[in-house]
A and B are shown apart, each in its own frame.
Chain A
Amino acid sequence: MIKSSLNRIEAVIKILIILILIFYSYVDVRCNVITVIEHNSVNMAVQQAQNGDTVLIRKGTYLETSIKIKSELTIIGEKGSVINAEGRGENVIEITSDNVTITGLEIQNVAVSYVSDNAAVKLIKVKNCKVSNCRIYNGFFGIYLAKSYNCKIENNDIISSGKKESSNGNGIHLWQCSNIEVANNKVSGHRDGIYFEFVKHGIIFNNLSERNVRYGLHFMFSDSCKYENNTFRHNGAGVAVMYTKCVEMTGNRFLNNWGTASYGLLLKDIKDSFIKNNIFKTNTVGIHCEGSNKILIENNEFIDNGWALRIMANCSENNFKSNNFIGNSFDLSTNSTRSDNTFSGNYWSRYKGYDLNHDGFGDIPFRPVTLFSVLVQKYEPTVILLHSLFLDLLNFAENLFPSLIPPTLVDNHPSMEKIS
């Protein structure tokens, strides 16, 4: 009896030892680190490396391009390691294997191409990859993901000198991807800072996107995505969210998007989404809304914009609740005389009503559309009359006897105090 149990214990110990040996030999393989020093080839190191290896790139400049990563590698760039493509080749780094991590590298001067979308780092049909702490300078496209999922793009600095629109790609470009996290990146000088096309469940947070030729962030056909706490400033036109449903937009800052065709946020054919706790400051138009339905716009700040809101006739069932409208030239303009969008409990700095019952809401309704904004919508040159006494009189008269402004566009409970 005792003997057999001893035998058993012995067998278990033997198996354990074998397992430990296997484990250690496995770890040993995994721990291979290939170090690349200046004047050596990154490409060669990457081709030699096996699944699970780490390629460590030492400080120095590497004049290389078209590096193809086909195995599961971790690539670490030491501080001061630069891959300069000198405008040659195609993608500088092309990843076609799952579980690849790239971190700490600097990549410069991607080839500008007319037919192919060359990128500093391109990921094609992969999962569980990560690109972090990289600096990309003059990437035609910066980081490009196609048909990939479960990837992270974090803490990268993507800068383009962006002289010509046509020789300029997008900073972070996603096409047909899902479950992607884009966080803490800085993107500037591209065509679109961050571009999502046919993306599901993407999360974009804490990014700064500025001085891009077109949009800071651009959504096309990308359902169920959200973006939070990003800053978009000095872009051609802020952010465009188009042909998409179920988008969450919270805590973002849309600043200084000036120009004739410029918006803080452009909504085109959007459904079932919400816009909460954002700041729209000094934009030509805060939100331009077209063909969009069932959007909740709550607790946002609209400060010093040309137009805070521009809502086109084909928008319905949108709910504007508890927003602050402060110092905008126009709070709202529309091209329609009817509207089934609702406004309630907003604070309007132009509101001149009173609150006799002290419930915090004005006793007379506020009409955010002025006669002048109707006029400007129809005959643009009349904008020259802005801030004239004549207009104040006109607006006042229209307020007393509304005839031209949409009668349904009214906030029945305008807040007396700024909403915090």
Chain B
Amino acid sequence: MKSVISIFSVFIALIIISGCGKSPVPLEIGKDECNYCKMTIVDPKWGAEIITDKGKIYKFDVVECAIAYAETELKEGEKVKSVWTVNYLNPKEFLSVENALYLFNEQFHSPMGMDAVSVPVLKDTSKLKLSGESEILNWDNLKKKTINKLKED
């Protein structure tokens, strides 16, 4: 009986922990829809999530959409707790946006036309086979750039 109770309590604990929503959940490629631009998420190399203080998760096809959503469409009383972006070099992994760098290059055809990818701080960029001009921004500057572009439109 005791063991049943302990197993049961472990289950309950697991359910509670999994329901907390502190970390991002994997994007369902081909099924999930971007909360901002409404596009179906189809490219695993890009993607982002916002987790609110109440644990609600919003999914996006690219990190620019997450910025735009947080700027314009967040419901009243909702606060952004954390923002995550898909690691271009390892698409199964999410990076906290503050820990990522944003690399702009025409060769990356990202979903919303900004041609940028999120990568961890890199020592070696040869893996990316870059050609032509590139620009690297950190999170704050990416935010500024995206919001400026939003205002222009």
Contacts and interface: CB of A to CB of B under 8 A. Distances in A.
A213 B30 contact: yes
A261 B33 contact: yes
B142 interface: no
Nearest to B31: A261
Interface in B41-72: 42-45
Given A115-B129, A166-B29, A261-B33, A198 B40 contact: no
Contacts of B80: none
Interface in A232-272: 236-237, 240, 242-243, 261, 266, 268-269
B38 A288 contact: yes
28 contacts: A114-B45, A115-B129, A117-B109, A165-B29, A165-B30, A165-B42, A166-B29, A166-B44, A168-B42, A175-B109, A191-B42, A197-B109, A213-B40, A214-B30, A214-B39, A214-B40, A214-B42, A220-B113, A221-B113, A236-B30, A240-B38, A242-B37, A242-B39, A261-B38, A261-B40, A268-B38, A269-B153, A290-B38
Contacts of A117: 109
A255 B39 CA distance: 19
Nearest to A215: B40
Contacts of B33: 261
Nearest to A168: B42
Contacts of B129: 115
A266 B66 CA distance: 20
Nearest to A170: B42
Interface size class of A (residues with CB under 8 A): 20 to 34
What are the 10 closest A-B residue pairs judged by CB atoms, nearest first? A165-B30, A261-B33, A214-B40, A166-B44, A165-B29, A214-B42, A165-B42, A191-B42, A213-B30, A166-B29
Nearest to B37: A268
B30 A197 contact: no
A237 B54 CA distance: 31
Interface string B24-38: 000001110100011
A214 B39 CA distance: 8
Interface size class of B (residues with CB under 8 A): 10 to 19
Interface of B: 29-31, 33, 37-40, 42-45, 109, 112-113, 129, 153
What DSSP secondary structure best describes chain B's contact surface? Answer: loop
Contacts of B43: 166
B95 to A, nearest CB: 18
Interface-centre pick from B31, B42, B45, B112 (highest chain A CB count, 10 A) = B42
Interface of A: 114-115, 117, 165-166, 168, 175, 191, 197-198, 213-215, 220-221, 236-237, 240, 242-243, 261, 266, 268-269, 288, 290
Contact of B113 (A198, A214, A240): A198
A288 B37 CA distance: 12
B83 to A, nearest CB: 22
Contacts of B109: 117, 175, 197
A396 to B, nearest CB: 33
B39 A213 contact: no
A164 B42 CA distance: 10
A243 B31 CA distance: 22
Given A261-B40, A269-B153, 17 more contacts: A165-B29, A165-B30, A197-B113, A198-B113, A213-B30, A214-B39, A214-B40, A220-B113, A221-B113, A237-B40, A240-B38, A240-B39, A242-B37, A243-B153, A268-B37, A268-B38, A288-B38
Contacts of A221: 113
Contacts of A290: 38
A167 B76 CA distance: 39
Contacts of A215: 40
Nearest to B39: A240
Interface-centre pick from A165, A197, A198, A266 (highest chain B CB count, 10 A) = A165
Nearest to B88: A115
Contacts of A191: 42
A215 B38 CA distance: 12
Contacts of B30: 165, 213-214, 236
